[in-house]
Amino acid sequence: MFANPLVDVLGWLGAACVLTAYGLVSAGRVHGTSRLYQVPNAIGSVLLTVNTYFYHAYPSSFVNVLWLGIALYALRAGKRGKGNGKGLAS
């Protein structure tokens, strides 16, 4: 297997997105139902999926696809105001 610099950069960007979102929630800066949390999670999971799939790390790819699904579900449910009854905050 050869390294691909573009895929590596995408993976690092994805990791930064997911970790930034997690850090913001953990620090109490944003709420777990906010777009400021869910959008970076979704973007990060897509980028990490590209990276892990390219390098045949299929278990990690599977986790990231599920992570994306959860983020998209939360975004969609928030637009409809489901869950906490407030919808997604900005």
Query: pLDDT tens digits, residue range 31-54?
Result: 998 999 999 999 999 999 999 999
The structural domain count of the chain equals 1
pLDDT higher than threshold 90 for residue 1: no
pLDDT higher than threshold 90 for residue 30: yes
85 falls within a domain: no
Query: What does 21-75 look like in DSSP terms, one character per residue?
Result: HHHHHHTTSS-TTSHHHHHHHHHHHHHHHHHHHHTT-HHHHHHHHHHHHHHHHHH
Give the type of residue at 1.
M
64 falls within a domain: yes
- The predicted model scores a pTM of 0.83
The whole-number pLDDT of residue 80 equals: 73
Write phi, then psi, for 41 (nearest 5 degrees). -60, -45
21 falls within a domain: yes
